[in-house]
């Protein structure tokens, strides 16, 4: 125990922050995407330590399994054409860094000053996947349906946005001719 | 047990790094990565407060914080799909994902 933190917490927090820093600083975009995956894995470990098993495994499935792969695909699809893939930092990087540091200082101040010290974790909650499923089907059924519609709309929209334009105009003229 | 403040500090650090990425990098995909990091930091906060808050006492079923995080993960996945689709579509037109060069969205 160091500063009241367990060793597992310190290791996964170090993994998370190191991955995020590497994503911020590395030059190769593919390396950035891979260190982002390390950050997602560290966050999943933190969720597991917080007894949120379902959220931890959902994090692994959704972020490591889908989002990281999607980012790698997007990086590989958008490079090339003779343009160097890495253009460095924007011209106002110092201002951005100052803003981020100020935000972190504000959050750190708020966390250390305003949190009552006597908050301690109660016993680990007895949350099973069955109870999560029952809650999703009863009290959270409306948000679940809205998220389902949102995911459908987002996926259809992403496909249409990324579709080659000649195919879109062709289908538009076809539907326009029918009207 | 690790105190709540340690989780909140880690989340603040990840949020600040994500903000720094989206403010300083010039590649559109890296800016999306920064936004994902910020959403993840918010999720960590939600789950930490859920774990340290009162479960199942009072009203509710003691699941609210985790449900919030799970829905947030779903919305973040949709955001990533649309954002990366936009980046790919822009790259097809202008052959660049450099944000300083992306000045117009009209095809």
Question: Domain map of chain B by residue range?
Answer: 4-94
B105 and A CB contact within 8 Å: no
| CA–CA gap between residue B100 and residue B107 (Å, rounded) | 17
Interchain pair B23, A97: CB under 8 A: yes
Q: Compare CB distances from A93 to B24, B34, B79 and report the shortest one's residue.
A: B24
Decide if pLDDT at A10 tops 70. yes
Per-residue b or e along B13-35, where b marks 16 or more CB atoms closer than 10 Å to that residue's CB: bbbbbbbbbbbbbbbbbbbbbbb
List Cβ neighbours of A13 (8 Å cut-off, separation of 6 or more). Answer: A5, A42, A46, B6, B10
Domain boundaries defined on chain A: 1-91, 128-179
> Which letter does DSSP use for residue A49 in this model?
H
Chain mean pLDDT for chain B? 86
State the residue for tokens 């989780």: B7
Interchain pair A131, B51: CB under 8 A: no
Beta bridge partners of A2: A5
Q: How far is CA A21 from CA A97, B37, B87, B98, in A?
A: 13, 11, 23, 21
B94 and A CB contact within 8 Å: no
B102 and A CB contact within 8 Å: no
- Per CATH, the architecture of A1-91 is what? Up-down Bundle (1.20)
Confidence grade of residue B97 (pLDDT, cut at 50, 70, 90): confident
What would the pLDDT profile of A67-114 be if each residue is shown by its tens digit?
Answer: 999 999 998 888 765 445 556 777 788 898 999 999 999 999 998 888
Q: Is the Cβ–Cβ distance between B37 and B21 less than 8 Å? A: yes
Position A178 scores a pLDDT of 43
CATH class of B4-94: mainly alpha
Mean per-residue pLDDT, A138-146 = 92
| Nearest one of B99, B90, B86 to B22, comparing CA atoms | B99
What would the pLDDT profile of B23-52 be if each residue is shown by its tens digit?
Answer: 998 888 999 999 999 999 999 999 998 888
Interchain pair B91, A111: CB under 8 A: no
Query: Which of B44, B53, B65 best probes binding to A when mutated, by most A CB atoms within 10 angstroms?
Result: B44
Mean per-residue pLDDT, A24-34 = 89
Position B42 scores a pLDDT of 95
List Cβ neighbours of A90 (8 Å cut-off, separation of 6 or more). Answer: A96, B23, B24, B25, B26, B99, B100
Position A102 scores a pLDDT of 95
List Cβ neighbours of A7 (8 Å cut-off, separation of 6 or more). Answer: A1
Token pair listed for B34: 């920064």
Q: Is the Cβ–Cβ distance between B78 and A150 less than 8 Å? A: yes
Interchain pair B62, A101: CB under 8 A: no
């Amino acid at each position: 125990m160091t500063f009241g933190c367990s060793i597992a917490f310190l290791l996964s927090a170090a993994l998370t922050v190191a991955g995020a820093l590497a994503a911020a600083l590395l030059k190769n975009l593919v390396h950035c995407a891979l260190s982002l995956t390390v950050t997602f894995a560290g966050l999943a470990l933190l969720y597991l330590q917080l007894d949120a098993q379902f959220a931890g495994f959902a994090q692994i499935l959704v972020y490591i399994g889908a989002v990281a792969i999607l980012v790698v695909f997007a990086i590989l699809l958008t490079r090339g054409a003779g343009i160097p893939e890495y253009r460095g930092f924007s011209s106002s990087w110092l201002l951005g860094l100052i803003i981020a540091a100020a935000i972190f200082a504000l959050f750190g101040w708020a966390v250390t000053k305003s949190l009552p010290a006597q908050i301690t974790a109660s016993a680990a909650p007895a949350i099973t996947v069955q109870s999560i499923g029952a809650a999703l089907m009863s009290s959270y059924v409306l948000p679940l349906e809205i998220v389902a519609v949102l995911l459908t709309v987002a996926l259809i929209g992403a496909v249409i946005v990324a579709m080659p334009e000649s195919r879109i105009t062709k289908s538009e003229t076809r539907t326009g001719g029918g009207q | 047990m690790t105190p709540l403040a340690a989780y909140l500090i880690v989340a603040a650090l990840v949020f600040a790094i994500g903000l720094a990425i989206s403010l300083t990098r010039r590649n559109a995909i890296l800016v999306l990565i920064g936004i994902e990091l910020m959403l993840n930091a918010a999720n960590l906060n939600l789950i930490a407060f859920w774990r340290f808050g009162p479960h199942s006492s009072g009203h509710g079923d003691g699941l609210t914080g985790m449900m919030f995080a799970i829905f947030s993960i779903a919305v973040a996945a949709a955001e990533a799909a649309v954002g990366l689709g936009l980046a790919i579509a822009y790259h097809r037109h202008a052959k660049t994902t450099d944000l300083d060069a992306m000045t117009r969205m009209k095809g």
